[in-house]
């Protein structure tokens, strides 16, 4: 292939590439790194943490009848640092109007989360990036995210914190302002010192119950465990560690 060829990804322009080269380069966006769908199933968000040399981004799609249409994107937060991997994780509220987008590598691995809000048909970043206090330079905050149904409560996982012990952070929104709720949370009873808590997170619709996964927990590495807690009382004494067995 000679001359200038425009790929399906609008941010790239390629020269002298064959068809195989183009297929490989199109994969670099890593679309589908993360996905989430609204309560009625008609709004979907898709993260691509490799887009634009790992700046990352996400897209918004909506359904009408049986047809899906891209409504916005690629959307990229403005206040990122270095290669943030935006779209590492993503979660959308029940009504499809609020999205939380994780970037686990922001600021060389500290990580961050960005909130986006749909207003009058337009998606825009709401406030500045969220970085929980007490994390270290390799926390990977934003590796996992989960929003409550109304989009006002957020759980964020960072499984690299404290030399891979891992942790989660809770945030709540009042109006347009997000505030961290308590200090970082680390589940009690972890075994092995490198549980990687926060690898996965989930918060209930009402934002009052949360869970997190730590896949490396155990006396034998990678047995794994999950922790449950009342997120309105995010404290180490308020947790239950569970090892799932078959």
Instruction: State residue 210's pLDDT score.
Output: 94
Task: Name 90's bridge partners.
Answer: 101
Helix or strand holding residue 132 (H, E): none
Q: Give me the half-sphere count of Cα atoms (radius 13 Å) on the Cβ side of residue 212.
A: 36
Write down the pTM of the prediction: 0.85
Please report, in tens digits, the pLDDT of each residue of the chain (246 residues total).
333 332 333 333 334 444 444 344 345 789 999 999 999 999 999 999 999 999 999 999 999 999 999 999 999 999 999 999 999 999 999 999 999 999 999 999 999 999 999 999 999 999 999 999 999 999 999 999 999 999 999 999 999 999 999 999 999 999 999 999 999 999 988 998 899 999 999 999 999 999 999 999 987 778 899 999 886 655 545 666 666 554
Instruction: State residue 230's pLDDT score.
Output: 81
Helix or strand holding residue 25 (H, E): helix 19-26
Q: Hey, which bits of the chain come out as E strands?
A: 4-6, 13-15, 31-37, 43-48, 57-64, 67-75, 86-92, 98-103, 112-119, 122-125, 144-147, 153-158, 167-174, 177-180, 197-203, 209-214, 225-230, 239-242
């Amino acid at each position: 292939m000679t001359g200038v060829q425009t790929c399906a990804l609008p941010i790239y322009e390629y020269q002298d590439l064959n068809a195989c080269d183009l297929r490989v380069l199109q994969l670099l966006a890593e679309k589908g790194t993360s996905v989430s769908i609204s309560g009625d199933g008609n709004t979907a968000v898709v993260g691509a943490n490799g887009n634009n040399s790992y700046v990352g981004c996400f897209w918004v799609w909506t359904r009408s009848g049986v047809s899906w249409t891209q409504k916005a994107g690629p959307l990229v937060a403005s206040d990122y640092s270095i290669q943030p991997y935006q779209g590492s994780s993503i979660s959308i509220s029940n009504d499809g109007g609020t999205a939380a987008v994780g970037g686990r590598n922001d600021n060389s691995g500290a990580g961050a989360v960005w909130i986006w809000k749909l207003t009058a048909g337009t998606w825009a970043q709401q406030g500045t990036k969220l970085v929980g206090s007490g994390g270290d330079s390799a926390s990977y905050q934003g590796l996992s995210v989960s929003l409550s149904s109304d989009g006002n409560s957020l759980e964020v996982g960072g499984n690299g914190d404290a030399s891979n012990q891992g942790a989660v952070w809770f945030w709540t929104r009042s109006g347009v302002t997000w505030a961290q709720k308590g200090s970082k949370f680390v589940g009690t009873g972890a075994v092995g010192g490198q549980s990687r808590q926060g690898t996965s997170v989930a918060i209930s619709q009402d934002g009052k119950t949360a869970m997190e996964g730590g896949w490396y927990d155990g006396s034998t590495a990678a047995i794994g465990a999950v922790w449950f807690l009342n997120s309105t009382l995010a404290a180490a004494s308020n947790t239950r560690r569970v090892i799932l067995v078959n």
